Amino acid sequence: MRILFLDLDALSPQHMSCYGYHRNTTPNIDRISSEGVCFTNYYTSDAPCAPSRTALMSGQFGIRNGLVGHGGTAGDMKLEGRDRGLMGRLSLGESLPSYLQLAGGLQTTLISPFAQRHSTFNFYAGFNEIINTGMAGMESAEHVAPVVEDWVQRNAKKDDWFLYINYWDAHTPYRAPESFGNPFEDSPLPKWATEEMLEKHKEKVGPHSASELEIDFARQTYTNQPVPNYPRSLGEIKNMQDLREVIDGYDCGIRYMDEQLGALFTSLEEQGVMDDLVIIISADHGENMGQLGIYSEHGTADDGTCRIPMIVRWPGMQQGTVDNDLHYHLDFLPTMAEMLDLPVAPAWDGESYAPAIKEAKSCGREYLVVSQCAHVVQRSVRFRDWIYIRTYHDGFHMFDKEMLFNLAEDPREERNVASENKDICMEAVYYLHEWHDEMMFKSQDDVDPLWTVIREGGPFHARGYLKNYTKRLEETGRGHHIPELKRRHPEEFGEHQQKEAEEFRGKLRKNIMSAKKEKLSSAPTR
């Protein structure tokens, strides 16, 4: 048994030709898709990067494993506590690689810098061999490919291995080398990319809106400055040419990565192992390209960020089929268990979709709940044609508390129809509460890490930025949004606790003075 897992960071199915995109971005991935099963409604349970991969590797939702953010307490997994033995549960067969190593008897190898990038060293648990490509996620495919090729030459012909590889080219900053050119320069833009839509998006506020694609970490604000040394990544979308450059930059990264994958597949064919090789192609999250007014980021709990590709080519099983059912990425662990005829770890939250791979049998879920606590704090419910998004912290985007989109009619989430569909919203909230109750009963403690993020000042990628960002809003003619941002986020201006305390003291003084007057007026006179 040989298994290749390709984790293609920030790859959105909406920009893959095998998922219907009008540009030929993924010809080599398309070939693998035609030989296996393509899942069209496959979602990460927790976005973005670190929460997603932690959920995948642990088999548990972020609400249970504790890692839902990119900083603060929720940037780490929960401690196992007093019952932890000499080895933790991730080393004892409950993580994906340790399970495949111990239960499946596979030699497990990781080629990725990811654990170092986010200090998520739990990601390593169970790998026999770890190769850090050394650039903390700033690698391009030409940096990863030689490392992979070396491993293939030395190991491909061996039996019983699992190789997990990270590629980064679809992640910002878009990094396909200039020498690659632009194979899409004469290709039309997606139909949604119109001047009318761009003008609408330029009015929006928040990080990675059309007017603020980049972050000034030193001054804690969002700017219009392009990324140095990355000409395909702009700082601002001012006009249709800029919009084309952003979309082309993303698509070029995908196509460049796909060509490197094609070279990998050729190398595996030359080694004589391609025909019986299990190939899994997926991602940690997608990429918002205008959805909710956000560009070049994966910062919400919406369809743009949380729907990811999943392609499984398993020789001897289904070929060229499409599965439209709802699945989580953490369903992969019990699926692997069933495909390998192994027992399922009781701590996992996933449900197997092996019947879809073996016999094209429907086995999806009734609904999904997906979370995002790194850029905003949101939980969403995906069911039937709907996605319901509930916002607890808007990350300065001024999202409504409730958003509802009919993805069949509005796949780009442009029309919030929550106010006209209260019954649908109520159904979604019921699902959300059912899921939350189940997860909290399963948890080893009474803490929902979403509220830890709120208590510690909000999502990591927004915390501390608003005060300086208001200057940028004033400079760009959007200062009218500032009063509402201040109302929603007084803590960003150091006013929250002070204001509440002053209001309390004022009421207290008023009550004391009122009581004194009443006492004086009722006192007997001599």
For the chain, list the domains and their CATH numbers: 8-77+86-182+252-291+314-365 (3.40.720.10)
Confidence (pLDDT) at 321: 98
- The CB density around residue 326, as the number of other CB atoms within 10 Å, is 20
- Please enumerate in sequence order all residues whose Cβ is within 8 A of that of 521, keeping only pairs 6 or more positions apart, or say none: none
Confidence (pLDDT) at 501: 66
Task: Map residue 331 onto helix, strand or coil.
Answer: helix
Confidence (pLDDT) at 516: 66
Report the run of H or E that residue 498 belongs to, with start and end: helix 496-522
DSSP letter at 432? Answer: H
pLDDT tops 90 at residue 524: no
Confidence (pLDDT) at 513: 72
How far apart CA 186 and CA 335 sit, in angstroms, is 42
* Nearest Cα residue to 222 out of 230, 212, 231, 237: 212
How far apart CA 237 and CA 213 sit, in angstroms, is 8
Confidence (pLDDT) at 218: 85
**Average pLDDT score over residue span 324-338:** 98
Q: What are phi and psi of 342, to 5 degrees?
A: -120, 160
Give pLDDT tens digits for 86-122: 999 999 999 999 999 999 999 999 999 999 999 999 9
pLDDT band of residue 473 (cuts 50, 70, 90) is very high
- Single-letter amino acid, residue 18: C
Confidence (pLDDT) at 505: 75
- Single-letter amino acid, residue 249: G
Q: What is the 3-state secondary structure (H, E, C) of 242-304?
A: HHHHHHHHHHHHHHHHHHHHHHHHHHHHHCCCCCCCEEEEECCCCCEECHHHEEEECCCCCHH
Q: What are phi and psi of 104, to 5 degrees?
A: -90, -10
Whole-number Cα distances in Å, 445 to 41, 78, 79, 94, 440: 32, 10, 10, 19, 8
